[in-house]
Amino acid sequence: MSDFAAPIAQQIWEMKYRFQPQDGAGADETVDDTWRRIARALASVEDDPALWEDRFHAALSEFKFLPAGRIVAGAGTGRTVTLFNCFVMGTIPDSLGGIFDALREAALTMQQGGGIGYDFSTIRPKGAPVAGVGADASGPLSFMDVWDSMCRTIMSAGARRGAMMATMRCDHPDIEDFITAKQDSTRLRNFNLSVLVSDAFMEAVEAGHTWDLTFGGTVYRTVKARDLWDLIMRSTYDYAEPGVIFIDRINRRNNLYYAEEIAATNPCGEQPLPPYGACLLGSINLARLVTEPFTDDAALDEGALTELVAMAVRMMDNVVDSSRFPLPEQQDEAQAKRRIGLGVTGLADALLMVGQRYGSVEAAQQTEHWLHQIARASYLASAQLAAEKGPFPLFDAEAFLGSETMMEMDADVRRAVSKHGIRNALLTSIAPTGTISLFAGNVSSGIEPVFAYSYTRKVLQKDGTRTEEDVVDYAVKLYRDLHGDGPLPDYFVNAQTLAPSDHVRMQAAAQKWIDSSISKTINCPADIDFETFKDVYLQAWNTGCKGCTTYRPNAVTGSVLSVDTPAEPTVEMPQFDAPIARPDAVDGMTYKIKWPDSEHAIYITLNDVVVDGLRRPLEIFINSKNMEHFAWTVALTRMISAVFRRGGDVSFVVGELKAVFDPRGGAWMQGKYVPSILAAIGGVIERHMIAIEFLPAQGSTLSPDPVAPQISTTKPGPACPSCGAYELRMLEGCLTCGSCGFSKCS
């Protein structure tokens, strides 16, 4: 089947992946053209391109193998883009010149669309002496602010949105400031933050010992390890950041432990990488490999899985040779180690198809078995590639086979690697697949549970209107097609009904056979108590996970679920037959907005008039010393005032302004996410209309999922910066829009 499995899949293809050059030559007319374009590009480095093009095309068809979005969008287009998803940049020197050289490299990488990760532990702490200039250091957080501004500037220039990960070691003297940095709602908005937690620190936490904060061999302070751990936990409990990365476990289990030291990850955390390391991602769509779904004979076709994995490994290895790179150091690193990150998507759907409840012991065992098969097939395929094309340049047989991961690998795999070497230093990773999973027909994302069985998506039409369509999970739709619209079996569960321990169980089961790491969000209920919440992280540590990311809905983070919003109650408004004349004197109020990152405040004056006993807005004035705003504030003032003076129900102005989103991102203001300055102005007008009783005060709640317990909140969470819908969800450690497929990290 080469047709789209759902309307949303075609829309995602047309928005993000369809190649449509300006001259029309070589455009993708169908999705099969897209598969053919990718297959041809990746086969071009083979000795027999025609043979491998057909084989690659077969693997891509029916959405069975899904290369990461940059490959789908860029391969074979001739555009100057990288096919690698993201990078960890070089080690930041502890000098001003070195720091700004690193900033330049980051800007060049982000300009080509690469997300970046950085370890800021190498910068001396705030207050440390700076030799030769008689000054004290400003600390790593101050330079992170510079990186954040750079990212915002790159995006405002029209480049692809960027994503950044910042890490800091748990023994850095500024670690407490790092942990709490994003509690300031205006700071580091373009960063994800994670603490590099060592084995020694976890042992100190468990034993109740003290913990030294050091830099350059100097102990700056000593704290209680449990107090520092609680600070991390309290921040992520309240603010969903920072994440936790078990860095010693990552380095210990790294196949390349003998050739590199890892101190950072890509923005979503599934690829721990050395300096200048790059992540190359792709996913096997398990939902497409289940035979006889929802019957007693349902099973994953493991023979087809093995063949598909082998083809995917070869395709991804070819990307290393066919991709461009923003920096020569990144190309050298990629070609020296040839690491790839083959993962899965549709896991939860595949489990449903074979009758398994996601999060159960049985489902975890099934997951471990499937991923073991993928690991076997990946390593055997890479060994065969090494026999044909040669192993990766830094391959050392004795050292490689002595890694923890290889020591646990099957005997026949070890024999193949010993005989032929291996083409790729690392092979498996489970990445965010938010947009790609929508493209494949709304299969469940990565190894996440089904988020919602269905939701309503608003689609912007060419004439500016919006229509609504139902988006149904792939497995749920298949079950309905086979068995009708009766109640779903009790093994159908979703992200909102699972206990956090179920999430951790699934992550740990998958991690056993993943040589890199996993992007996964552990959704926690809003009312989980703090001690139980901390146990989630200890469970992740004790069961072999390489990191842990949680999301607990609250007044700061917003709601996890936004499925169906009830219609706004109808408010009877007075009708006015004629425009309203302005009296000589009017009453009004002035409001002040201080938009984050703006030097000057905006002042909004709303004047009112009483008509037929009802006070209503008559005119608006918007003033600011920021001349950048002058033209549009004047235009907005005149247009809104004209609308007010026309009479009638002018409350629609509020809705129109509040729906405006800024593609550069909005801001948190007084505990609420506001998607743009115009939306903030709309909020002021709404507040004024409520104050003068022109509008009634209204709250908002979420309606229940028809197949899940009700989840209500007075805050819909942040709006999507791409489409403006309040459909952002935390998936695989990354905010992802269920309406348009936008992902903060891709």
Over residues 74-100, the pLDDT tens digits come to 999 988 788 998 899 999 999 999 999
The pLDDT score that the predictor gives to residue 705 is: 32
Q: Indicate whether 517 belongs to any domain.
A: no
- In this predicted model, what pLDDT tens digit does every residue of 485-540 receive, in sequence order? 888 999 999 887 899 999 999 999 999 999 999 999 998 998 999 999 999 999 99
The pLDDT score that the predictor gives to residue 496 is: 77
Q: The domain containing residue 638 runs over which residues? A: 587-691
DSSP structural state of residue 430? B
pTM of structure: 0.79
The pLDDT score that the predictor gives to residue 720 is: 64
Asked whether the beta carbons of 129 and 136 are under 8 A apart, the reply is: yes
The pLDDT score that the predictor gives to residue 159 is: 42
The pLDDT score that the predictor gives to residue 249 is: 97
CA angle (394, 251, 98) in 5-degree steps: 80
Q: What sign results for the dihedral spanned by CA atoms 233, 743, 438, 555?
A: positive
Region label for 446, one of left (φ > 0), alpha (ψ between -120 and 50) or beta (otherwise): left
| Residue indicated by tokens 């053209």 | 33
Q: Partners of 192 in the beta sheet? A: 165
Rounded CA-CA distance 582/600 in Å is 31
Asked whether the beta carbons of 115 and 746 are under 8 A apart, the reply is: yes
Number of folded domains in the chain?
Answer: 1
The pLDDT score that the predictor gives to residue 423 is: 98
Active site members: 266, 268, 270
Q: Indicate whether 198 belongs to any domain.
A: no
Q: What sign results for the dihedral spanned by CA atoms 127, 129, 135, 138?
A: negative
Helices (H), 323-433: 328-337, 347-353, 361-389, 397-401, 404-407, 411-420
Q: Indicate whether 656 belongs to any domain.
A: yes
Residue type, 148: D
Average pLDDT, the chain: 87
pLDDT lower than 70: segments of the chain: 1-2, 155-162, 458-467, 558-579, 597-599, 627-628, 661-666, 668, 670-673, 697-735, 738-746
Radius of gyration of the chain from its Cα atoms, rounded to whole angstroms: 27
Q: Indicate whether 667 belongs to any domain.
A: yes
Region label for 308, one of left (φ > 0), alpha (ψ between -120 and 50) or beta (otherwise): alpha
The pLDDT score that the predictor gives to residue 742 is: 66
Q: Could you write out the DSSP letters of every residue in 575-624?
A: --SSPPPPPSS-EEEEEEE--TT-SS-EEEEEEEEEETTEEEEEEEEEEE
Asked whether the beta carbons of 696 and 664 are under 8 A apart, the reply is: no
Instruction: Give the closest residue to 85 by CA, choosing from 67, 99, 60.
Output: 67
Is 44 buried (19+), middle (13-18) or exposed (0-12) by CB count in 10 A? middle
Asked whether the beta carbons of 9 and 440 are under 8 A apart, the reply is: yes
